[in-house]
């Protein structure tokens, strides 16, 4: 279980990273929490690893009135520990705390999680629910995509050749915003078998619901107010989205979405978030 041969470079700035990534066999690495095992299993065989985890452009945090732009290389642990500002009432720290294990959180990054696009990972589902926007840079220049437009399917993203995620913009929630989150994992720290994130921010007029841990693209409901008011609609939603699956899977998804919605009502402080 040793990786095949590869070269390694740690460019000094974003321009150098983009130039290095022009190589067809090049792949960016940040925390390496998914790519590392894939290298060892020889499932990923890049000829060149471009280490972007210390790029100043990817480590910055810009706080503005509308939200916070987090550098892509901010780690889960930095969110968990409150080392970066949070434009939500504590949602980001809570979600980060529930990602895998602390050892993974110490190295894993928010940008890496989005780029890997595991449907059962916490950030893609959470960030889509929060209406976050992915910032990209590549040979064609810079662009921005909402998370739900960035993630095209299981392990599939809109990243073009040589393009990397530079940051994620998370919009600011109003003070009374609530966030319901529920994932069903076979054990603590494992990838979820079913997951759902719901944002209810009436002051901003935002009600979003995201179903993750699907076999394909995440299910994003951008106008979820009716669903939150009457969760009976969940069954239709799953059927229409082709997520009904077999009866046992359907039962699980329905329960998890119901729990996430129910968590909104229970939530009075960030501490009561279910995870």
Partner 1 sequence: MVGPHMDEHRLDEQKLDPRPAKGRGVGASIPRKEDARLLEGRGRFIGDMRFPGQLEAAFVRSTLAHARIRGIHIPAHLKGRAFTHEDMAGVKDILAKTGLPGFRVSAQPSLASTKVRFVGEPVAMVLAETRAQAEDLAEEITVDYEELPANVDMLRTVKPDAARIHEDWPDNVFLVSQVDSQFDGRLAGAPIKVTREVRTSRQCMAPLEGKGCIAVHERHTEQLHLWTSTQMPHIVRSGLAECLGLEERRIRVVAPDVGGGFGWKGLLQPEEVCCAWAALKLDRPIKWLEDRREHLIAAANCREHHYIMTAYAEADGTLLGFEALAHVDAGAYSVYPFSACLEGAQVVSNLPGPYNLPAYRCRAYSACTNKPPIVPYRGVARTGVCTAMELMIDAVARAAGREPYEVRLANLVRPDEMPFTSITGKAFDMGDYPESLRRAHAMIDHAGVRARQARGEPDGRRIGIGYATYCEQGAHGTSVYHGWGIPMVPGFEQCGARLTPDGTLELRVGNQSHGQSMETTLAQIACEVLGIDPDLVNVVHGDTAMTPYSTGTWGSRSAVMAGGAVASACETLGGRIRRIGAHLLQAPVDAVRIEGARVVGPAGSVSFKEVAHTFYRAPQNLPRDADPAGLDLVAGYRPTVDTGTFSYASHACVVAVEPDTGEVEILDYVIVEDGGVLLNPMVVDGQIYGGTAQGIGTALYEEMAYDEHGQPLASTFADYLLPGANEMPDVRIAHMETPSPNTRFGQKGIGEGGAIAPPAAIGNAINDALADLGVELTVSPMTPRRVREAVTAARARAGVRPAGGVS
Q: Among 47-55, 61-69, 164-172, 247-255, which window interacts with partner 1 (CB under 8 A)?
A: 247-255
Instruction: Specify the residue, 175 or 186, whose C-beta has the smaller distance to partner 1.
Output: 186
Residue from the set 139, 251, 265, 272 that interacts with partner 1 by CB under 8 A: 251
CB of 255 to partner 1, least distance (A): 4
- Residue 105 lies near partner 1 (rule: CB under 8 A): no
| Separation of alpha carbons 67 and 254, rounded Å | 32
Binding mask 225-244 for partner 1 (x = CB under 8 A): -------x--x---------
- SS3 call for 3: coil
Positions of E strands within the chain: 7-9, 26-29, 48-51, 61-64, 67-71, 133-138, 141-146, 151-153, 156-157, 164-171, 178-185, 192-201, 206-212, 219-221
Residue from the set 106, 184, 222, 275 that interacts with partner 1 by CB under 8 A: 184
Mark 95-132 as b/e (b = at least 16 C-beta within 10 Å): bbbbbbeeebbebbbbbbbbbbbbbbbbbbbbbbbbbb
* Nearest of 208, 211, 238, 234 to residue 223 by alpha carbon: 208
Residue from the set 141, 186, 205, 269 that interacts with partner 1 by CB under 8 A: 186
Binding mask 35-74 for partner 1 (x = CB under 8 A): --x---xx--------------------------------
Contact footprint for partner 1 (CB under 8 A): 1-5, 37, 41-42, 184, 186-191, 193-194, 232, 235, 247-248, 250-252, 254-256
């Amino acid at each position: 279980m040793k990786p095949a041969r590869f070269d390694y470079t740690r460019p000094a700035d974003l321009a150098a990273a983009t130039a290095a990534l022009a190589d067809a066999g090049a792949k960016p690495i940040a925390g390496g929490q998914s790519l590392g095992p894939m290298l060892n299993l020889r499932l990923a065989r890049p000829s060149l690893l471009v280490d972007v985890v210390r790029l100043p452009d990817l480590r910055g945090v810009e706080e503005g009135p509308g939200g916070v732009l987090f550098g892509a290389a901010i780690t889960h642990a930095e969110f968990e520990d409150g080392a970066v500002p949070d434009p939500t009432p504590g949602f980001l720290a809570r979600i980060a705390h529930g990602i895998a294990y602390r050892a993974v959180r110490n190295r894993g990054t928010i940008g890496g999680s989005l780029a890997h696009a595991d449907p059962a990972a916490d950030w893609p589902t959470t960030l889509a629910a929060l209406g976050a926007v992915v910032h990209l840079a590549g040979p064609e220049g810079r662009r921005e995509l909402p998370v739900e437009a960035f993630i095209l399917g299981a392990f599939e993203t809109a990243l073009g050749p040589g393009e990397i995620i530079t940051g994620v913009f998370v919009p600011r929630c109003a003070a009374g915003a609530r966030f319901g989150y529920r994932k069903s994992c076979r054990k603590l720290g494992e990838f979820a078998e079913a997951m759902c994130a719901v944002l209810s921010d009436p002051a901003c007029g935002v009600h979003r619901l995201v179903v993750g841990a699907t076999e394909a693209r995440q299910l994003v409901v951008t106008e979820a107010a009716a669903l939150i008011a009457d969760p009976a609609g969940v069954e239709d939603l799953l059927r229409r989205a082709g997520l009904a699956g077999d009866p046992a899977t359907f039962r699980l998804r329905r329960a998890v979405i119901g729990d996430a919605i129910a968590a909104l009502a229970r939530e009075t402080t960030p501490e009561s978030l279910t995870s």
